[in-house]
Homo-oligomer: A and B are copies of this chain.
């Protein structure tokens, strides 16, 4: 199994396991990777033989320590390249995902570490996601969803749960970016949409769907 493919499976399993402690289900992995479940079953067996995941037929899979390490290294590379693309090449946060998705598979430890150093060992990527250090440790961040902020409460925007172009561009348009402060002015009873003010100025309505993808502290 090519390291490219392998890393994508491990990343998907890592992500799903974060959401669902039991592990990652075949169907969910397939959905995540845009492939069919039958293909996942096949791949899962190989990853298990390689000692990268724990697998029992018909059960959700989890990563072994080794598998987790590889997943985290891949995430580290992805997020470092995202910082590079934004900080050094001037891309916007909604443009970088597909590029980082390819760059993350370049596998030279020394390259990753020098890149990190060149970027000043950043702790967060342009979407506010923490970048694991070379030993795989993430900066602790206990953020909450904007939907969890009470009426008249204020919070600082620290990240996004969704990385799609359309979502990020919408945030740009209404002036929401990392570090700004958001005050909840009104919560509409009917649909749970909320009126917020951005940095105490601009007021704008956000659907619950949008608010739930905005992370704050």
Which A residues have a C-beta under 8 Å from some C-beta of B?
85, 88-91, 95, 98-99, 102-103, 106-108, 110-111, 114-115, 118
Contacts and interface: CB of A to CB of B under 8 A. Distances in A.
Binding site of A, secondary structure by majority: helix, strand, loop or mixed?
Answer: helix
Contact of A114 (B90, B98, B107): B90
Instruction: Report the copy number of this chain in the oligomer.
Output: 2
A102 B106 CA distance: 7
Contact of A99 (B85, B88, B106): B106
A13 B99 CA distance: 28
A108 B90 CA distance: 15
Contacts of A118: 88-89
A107 B101 CA distance: 12
Nearest to A117: B89
Nearest to A4: B4
Contact of A106 (B90, B103, B111): B103
A91 B114 contact: yes
Contacts of A95: 110
A114 B87 CA distance: 12
Nearest to A90: B114
